[in-house]
Amino acid sequence: MFETKRACPHGWRRLRHTGWAAGMALAACATFAANAQVANAPSRPKIIIAPILKAQPSTPFELDIRIEGESALPQGTYLEIRGLPQLVTLSAGKALSRRSWSVPLDALAKLKLQLPEQASGKSNVDLRLVTKSYVVVAFATTELIVAPAGEVTANPGTKTDTPSNGSTPTAIEPKGSAGAGERRSKATAQDTAQATERKAEAETA
């Protein structure tokens, strides 16, 4: 009887240790299974496009649009493009309105903008992945800038110096300009006059 009482505590300790080890093993298996499901789950669809597009009038512009996670999309999903400038067309797809188009996904690889000669300015363009049941599954935006090649907004005779602290840009005149030469001549004359006055004052004292 005495030996049985002494043996029972050790048996309970072994039982508790075995139960704890089994619980840890089950938890590890559950974690591994959950991670495997996440790894194998299809990625959420995304529209990949540059935030700013720069195009020229009368010149076809190739749109670099990629769809991430396309394999997870239902059949019949298409790309809807809204906000194009007036009279701008696409090389594939069909027009929904004057500024909106729908494009099948298999036509994105070679999709181009057809820009008329009078096209110019900036436009905010929206892109949406839309299913056959008209559900939007992804969204992206970009800014389209249409301007002739080499066009600049600043005066060609000046350059803009923008300090890193974000203060107002300062116009710097090119070397050799007439205005800069006149100012340098006036500054030199003023310096000479001030030096002459100081010398006269020193001699008088």
The predicted structure's pLDDT at residue 141: 97
DSSP annotation string for 103-137: EEGGGGGG-EEE--TT--EEEEEEEEEE-TT--EE
Q: Of 150-154, 171-175, 196-200, where does mean pLDDT reach its minimum?
A: 171-175
The predicted structure's pLDDT at residue 114: 93
11 pLDDT more than 90? no
180 pLDDT more than 70? no
Question: Model-level pTM?
Answer: 0.55
The predicted structure's pLDDT at residue 73: 93
Select from 89, 95, 91, 94 the least CA-distant residue to 115.
89
Q: For the residues 192-203, what does the mean pLDDT come to?
A: 63
Q: What is the distance between the alpha carbons of residues 9 and 12, in angstroms, rounded to a whole number?
A: 5
Q: State which of 25-34, 110-119, 177-186 shows the largest mean pLDDT.
A: 110-119
Q: What is the pLDDT of residues 67-124, one digit of tens each?
A: 999 998 999 999 999 999 988 999 999 999 989 999 999 999 999 999 999 889 999 9
Length of the chain: 205
Q: What is the distance between the alpha carbons of residues 41 and 186, in angstroms, rounded to a whole number?
A: 75
Q: For the residues 178-190, what does the mean pLDDT come to?
A: 56
Residues forming a β-bridge with 95: 101
173 pLDDT more than 50? no
Q: What is the distance between the alpha carbons of residues 21 and 61, in angstroms, rounded to a whole number?
A: 64
pLDDT band at 43 (very low <50, low <70, confident <90, very high): confident
The predicted structure's pLDDT at residue 38: 42
Identify the residue with better confidence: 185 or 87.
87
| Half-sphere exposure in the Cβ direction for 85 (13 Å, CA) | 21
The predicted structure's pLDDT at residue 184: 56
- Type and span of the H or E element at 196: helix 178-204
Q: What is the distance between the alpha carbons of residues 111 and 147, in angstroms, rounded to a whole number?
A: 20
DSSP annotation string for 26-92: HHHHHHHHHHHHHHHSPPPPEEE--SEEEE-TTS-EE---EEETGGGSPTT-EEEEE-PPTT-EESS
Q: What is the pLDDT of residues 127-171, one digit of tens each?
A: 999 999 999 999 999 999 999 876 634 333 333 333 333 333 333
Give the DSSP letter of residue 175.
T
